[in-house]
Amino acid sequence: MGQSDDMLDDDDYPAYTMGRAADIVGCSQDFLRRLGDAQLIDPHRSAGGHRRYSRSQLRLAARAYQMCEQGTDMAAACRIITLEDQLAEARRHNASRPAH
């Protein structure tokens, strides 16, 4: 598999510009900036300093946007998503451990 195929399959590859990311999520570019300020996502910066987003970051942004649209405060939405993801990771870890 070539390098471009690897990038297409990589959920963490920063493929999307801020404008395209906002279009995909259905939010404003300012919303994406504020998610970065809230430290839910940390977009990659291009050589020119422009934000670039990955598919995994867009999924987080979409979750946050949906919660905010339903009336949840952004800080609370970011905290809930972080805790949900930590819980899911802990469950995966526990499921992979051998039974005693």
CATH of the domain at 9: 1.10.1660.10
pTM of the model: 0.84
Domain count, the chain: 1
- Rg of the Cα trace of the chain? 16
Say how many residues make up the chain: 100
The per-residue pLDDT of the chain, averaged, comes to 92
Q: Give residue 9's pLDDT.
A: 81
- Cβ–Cβ < 8 Å for 74, 34: yes
* CA separation, residue 67 to residues 7, 71, 75 (Å): 30, 7, 11
Q: Give residue 97's pLDDT.
A: 84
- Cβ–Cβ < 8 Å for 19, 29: yes
Give me the domain span that covers residue 15: 3-96
- End-to-end Cα distance, the chain: 41
Quote the CA–CA distance of 40 and 43 in Å, as a whole number: 10
Q: What ranges in 26-73 are assigned the alpha helix state H?
A: 29-37, 55-69
Q: Give residue 59's pLDDT.
A: 96
What is the 8-class DSSP label of residue 49? S
pLDDT in tens, 8-50: 788 999 999 999 999 999 999 999 999 999 999 999 999 999 9
